Chain A
Amino acid sequence: MSGRPPVGVLRGGPPGWLAAAPALLVAALFCGYPVAVMVANSFGVGQAPADTGPTLDHYLNAFASSAVRGALIASVIVAGGSVLLTLGIAIPVVLRLARDNRAGRGTVLADALLTLPIALPGIIIGFFAIVLTGRTGLLGLAWDGFSGLAYTLPGLLVAYIYFAIPRVLGPLRGAAETLDPGLADSARTLGASRIRVFCTITLPLLLPAAIEVGGTAMAVALGGYGTVATLSEGVRLLPLNVVNELTTGYRLASSSALAVLLACLSVLALVAGRVLSRTVRKGFLS
Chain B
Amino acid sequence: MTSPHSPVPSSRGAGLTVHDLTVRYGSTTAAANVSLDVAPAETVAVIGPSGCGKSSTLRAVAGLAPVAEGRITLAGRDITALAAARRNIGLVPQNYAVFPHMSVAGNIGYGLRARRTPEPLRRERVRAMLDLTRLEELADRRPDQLSGGQRQRVALARALAIEPDVLLLDEPLAALDPQLRGGLRRELAAMLSATECATLIVTHDQHEALSLGSRIAILRDGHLVQFDTPQVLWNDPADAFVADFLANALLLDVHRNHDHVLALDGRWRIPLGQLAVRPTGHGVSRLLLRRDSFTVTDTADEAALEAEVTHSEFAGDSVQLTVRAAGTTMSLRVAPDARIGRTVGLSVAGGAATLLSPTA
The answer to whether the Cβ of B114 comes within 8 Å of any Cβ in the partner chain is yes
Which B199-229 residues sit within 8 Å CB-CB of chain A? none
A185 touches B114 (CB 8 A): no
Interface size, A (range): 20 to 34
Which residue of the partner chain, among A190, A204, A285, contacts B111 with CB atoms under 8 Å?
Answer: A190
Most chain A Cβ neighbours within 10 Å, of B90, B94, B95, B110 = B110
**Interface contact B62-A182, CB-CB below 8 Å:** no
With A and B bound together, what is the CA distance between A194 and B95 in angstroms?
Answer: 22
Cβ of B84 and Cβ of A188 under 8 Å apart?
yes
A180, A189, A201, most chain B CB atoms within 10 A: A189
Report the minimum CB–CB distance from B198 to chain A (whole Å).
15
A interface majority secondary structure: helix
A192 touches B97 (CB 8 A): no
Q: Give the residues in chain A near B95, CB-CB below 8 Å.
A: 180, 182
Asked if A285 and B97 sit within 8 Å, CB to CB, the answer is no
Q: Evaluate contact between B103 and A190: CB separation under 8 angstroms.
A: no
A183 within 8 A of B: yes
Beta-carbon contact of B64 and A192 below 8 Å = no
A192 touches B110 (CB 8 A): yes
Residues of A within 8 A of B309 (CB): none
Asked, given contacts A182-B97, A183-B97, whether A189 binds B89 with beta carbons under 8 Å apart, the answer is yes
Contact yes or no, B162 A190, CB < 8 A = yes
How far is the CB of A52 from the nearest CB of chain B, in Å? 55
Bound: A192/B106 CA distance, A: 14
A187 CA / B114 CA spacing, docked (Å): 9
Residue among A190, A191, A201, A284 with the most chain B CB within 10 A?
A: A190
A243 within 8 A of B: no
A154 to B158: give the CA distance in the assembly, Å. Answer: 47
Taking CB atoms and an 8 Å cut-off, the chain B residues in 135-188 that contact chain A are 140, 142, 155, 158-159, 162, 168
Asked if A240 is at the interface (CB within 8 A of a chain B CB), the reply is no
Residues from chain A with a CB closer than 8 A to the CB of B91 are 185-186, 189-190
Q: Is the C-beta of A196 less than 8 angstroms from some C-beta in chain B?
A: yes
**Residue among B87, B103, B110, B155 making CB contact with A285, cutoff 8 Å:** B103
Chain B residues within 8 Å of A200, by CB: 110
A284–B99 CA distance with the chains assembled, in angstroms: 11
- CB pair B114–A191 under 8 Å, yes or no, is yes
Q: Is the CB of B101 within 8 A of A205?
A: yes
Residues in A with CB closer than 8 Å to B86 are: 191
Task: Judge if B40 is at the interface, Cβ distance under 8 Å.
Answer: no
Docked pose: A284 CA to B88 CA in angstroms: 27
Chain B residues, CB < 8 A from A247:
none
Q: Are B85 and A188 within 8 A (Cβ)? A: yes
Closest chain-A Cβ to B71's Cβ sits at a distance in Å of 19
Q: Mark B108-129, 1 if CB is under 8 A from A, else 0.
A: 0011001100000000000000
- Complex Cα distance, B101 from A284, in Å, reads 6
Cα distance, A192 to B97, chains bound together (Å): 15
Q: Using known A-B contacts A189-B64, A191-B111, determine if residue A183 contacts B99 with beta carbons closer than 8 Å.
A: yes
Our pick among A186, A205, A284, A285 for the contact of B93 (Cβ within 8 Å) is A186
Say whether B102 contacts A189, CB under 8 Å: no
Instruction: Point out the residues of chain A lying under 8 angstroms from B101, CB to CB.
Output: 204-205, 284-285
Q: A255-286: contact bitstring with B at CB < 8 Å (1 yes, 0 no)?
A: 00000000000000000000000000000110
The winner among B87, B111, B114, B155 for most chain A CB atoms within 10 A is: B114
Q: Contacting B100 at CB < 8 Å: which of A188, A190, A191, A205?
A: A205
Residues of chain B within 8 A (CB-CB) of A190 are: 85, 90-91, 110-111, 114, 158-159, 162
B62 near A189 with CB under 8 A, answer yes
> Does residue B48 face the partner (Cβ distance < 8 Å to A)?
no
* CB–CB B85/A201 < 8 A: no
A107 within 8 A of B: no
Give the distance to chain A from B165, nearest Cβ to Cβ, in Å: 12
CB-CB < 8 A to B53: which residues of A?
none
Give chain A residues whose Cβ lies under 8 Å from the Cβ of B63. 188-189
Residues of chain B within 8 A of A205, CB atoms compared: 100-101
Closest to B61 in A: A189
Interface residues of A in 182-229 (CB under 8 A from B): 182-183, 185-194, 196, 200-201, 204-205
The answer to whether B85 and A189 have CB atoms under 8 Å apart is yes
Q: How far is the CA of A200 from the CA of B88 in the complex (A)?
A: 19
**Could you list some 28 contacts between A and B, CB below 8 A?**
A180-B95, A180-B97, A182-B95, A183-B99, A185-B62, A185-B84, A185-B91, A187-B114, A188-B83, A188-B85, A189-B84, A189-B91, A190-B85, A190-B91, A190-B110, A190-B114, A190-B159, A190-B162, A191-B86, A191-B162, A192-B85, A193-B114, A194-B85, A196-B114, A201-B99, A204-B101, A205-B100, A284-B102
> Can you list the 6 inter-chain pairs with the closest CB atoms, starting with the nearest?
A190-B111, A182-B97, A284-B101, A192-B114, A189-B91, A188-B84
Q: A183-B100, A186-B97, A189-B64 are in contact. List 9 more A-B contacts (CB 8 A).
A: A180-B95, A183-B99, A185-B64, A189-B84, A190-B90, A191-B162, A201-B99, A205-B101, A285-B101
